[in-house]
Structure 1
Amino acid sequence: MPKGYWIVRVDIADAEKYKAYIAANAKPLAQYGARFLVRAGKFENPEGGSRTRNAVIEFPSYQAAVDCWHSETYQEAMKLRLPVSTADLVIIEGYDGPQPG
């Protein structure tokens, strides 16, 4: 079964208030087996649009990624993020097929 991922891009208007969201999202992310692969590191944006903060979060399955987003605990955490940030979030299934080589 392929893993699931959240691909997240965020602009944060109030970094102090955003910290409350980070604290609140820890519980649902842990509950659904999430692991950060990318979290706000240095980046270049050679094509298209961008936001100031980026993350890639891995889940043990696509279903876990979907269920986490829809969970009551994540929806409560998200209420802390919405007034202080603008985000793009994609939930996507991992790929286990052939690779370039």
Structure 2
Amino acid sequence: MPAYWIAHVTATDPARYKGYQSLAPEVFARFGARFLARGGASDCPEGAEFDRHVVIEFPDLATARACYMSPEYQAAKAQRDGAAEVMITMVEGL
């Protein structure tokens, strides 16, 4: 059953955030992830507003979790830490 990362992001230091953007896609590819939405126009009728919204499909929830916990993703995340406000939810699909 597929699973999804739903990420809401506001880059507070766009130059530093580029370090994350240069590393993360390769990690996602290694875990069989597929981007369904990345940036683009959006509306936020409820809740906290973020600048970017990203939806990434994984083969299953275990793979999504493994990707997040992988040393490679944690290295990418270290580039993002302090450079963006981020909320990530992992959810199992139907």
- Under a length normalisation based on structure 1, what TM-score does the superposition of the two structures give? 0.88
Matches within 5 A, 1:47-86: 47-86=46-85
**Structure 1, residues 26-75: CA drift from partner, whole Å, max 9, x if none?**
22101101111010110111122221111000011111111000101000
Q: How many residues align?
A: 94
**Once superposed, which parts of structure 1, at least 4 consecutive aligned residues long, lie more than 6 Å away?**
none
* 1:6 aligns to 2:5 (yes or no): yes
Aligned to 2:82, what secondary structure does the other structure show? helix
C-alpha RMSD over aligned residues: 0.9
Structure having the higher Rg:
1
- Under a length normalisation based on structure 2, what TM-score does the superposition of the two structures give? 0.94
> Structure 2 unaligned runs (5+)?
none
> Structure 1 unaligned runs (5+)?
96-101
